[in-house]
Each structure stands twice: as C-alpha cells, then as structure tokens.
Amino acid sequence: MAGMPHLVQVQEKYKAQGVVVFASHCQNVEQGKVVALCLSKKVNYTVVDGSRLAGDDSNGIPHAWLFDASGKCVQEGHVEQFTAKLEELLKSEPHWITRGKKLESKEARAIGEGLKAGRPMGWAVAECETLIKKNDSKNVEEATFLKEQLLAEGERRLKELNALEEENAFKADNAYKEIDAL
C-alpha cells in the first residue's frame, strides 16, 4: 500500500490542527494481511475495507482527496502532492473547533488563530469569557459559539478517555498526558 508512510507522517504532523486521515483499502486481499501490513507500517489513521467515494473511478494507488473545512473537495490525486495545499488550507481555513464556520469578528478570529498556533484550549475558553463580558453583540455571539464548541470538545474527549480507561489504562494514561499538553 504505497503512500502509507507519507500518510502516517501527515497524520502525526497535523493531527493537532484537526487534520483527519482516512484510507480505504479496495484491493481483493485477505483482511488479516491488510491488518498485518498496517501494524508493520505503524498506521495511525483509520483504514476501512472496500469503500469508495461516490463517483470515484480512480485506479491509481494510492489515490487521495483533500477536503476543506466546509467539506468541499479541493484537490484530488496522489497523496504526496497534497503538502502545499494542506499547508495553505491550515493557514486560510478556520480552526477545526469552529466546524468550518468562518468567524467575522477580529477578536474571535484571533482566538482561532491562537488555537491554530498551538495555544491551549483553556486559554481560548478564558479569552472567550473576556470577549463575552465586553457586550459587543458580534463578539458575544461568536465568543459564546467558540466557548460552547471548546467545552463540548472537552466533554467529548473526557467521555472518550473514560471509556478508554476501562479498555486499556496505559493507553488512557498516555491520552490524558497528550490532552494535558494541548
């Protein structure tokens, strides 16, 4: 499965920015062989079996699609050709926590940019609370939206980690440390 090492690097490098890599295995190969290959290549993204996008008639391996924050396909082709476009999108698109919503107020956009630059979510919540107190209607609306998204993400992650604790305490401990770093 050509392109696997590149996708592993992309997922690792950009996961904090909200990039999600999915792969589809469409060859007629036993599932055990696919799993073994993924394990040997240390695949850190989801691989599904036998799926194709609607309208996909590609036959090159690997073949990939890059989607922007709104879900629009912005590039199609070989995965190794995506780096420049991916970097461009990460700069131009809103932070993933906004679910593709482009923020209008300068102050709210600054919070999103801070998140994109690696500022922690706790910082962003505090900044949202400061904006909400200013009583400017656009700032209040967007800061409230951002704060709700941030808190919902925190709750989602906590729920996910609680479930993981029951499955694998070691993995859960590592995940808690990763979230703490964020």
Which residue's entry shows tokens 């107190």? 133
8-state DSSP, 67 = E
Q: 143 and 125 in contact (C-beta within 8 Å)?
A: no
Over 90: is that where the pLDDT of 127 sits?
A: yes
Q: What's the rounded mean pLDDT across residues 136-141?
A: 90
Select, from the ranges 15-19, 21-25, 150-154, the one with the highest average predicted confidence (pLDDT): 150-154
Threshold 0.85, pTM exceeds: no
Tokens of 111: 């919070």
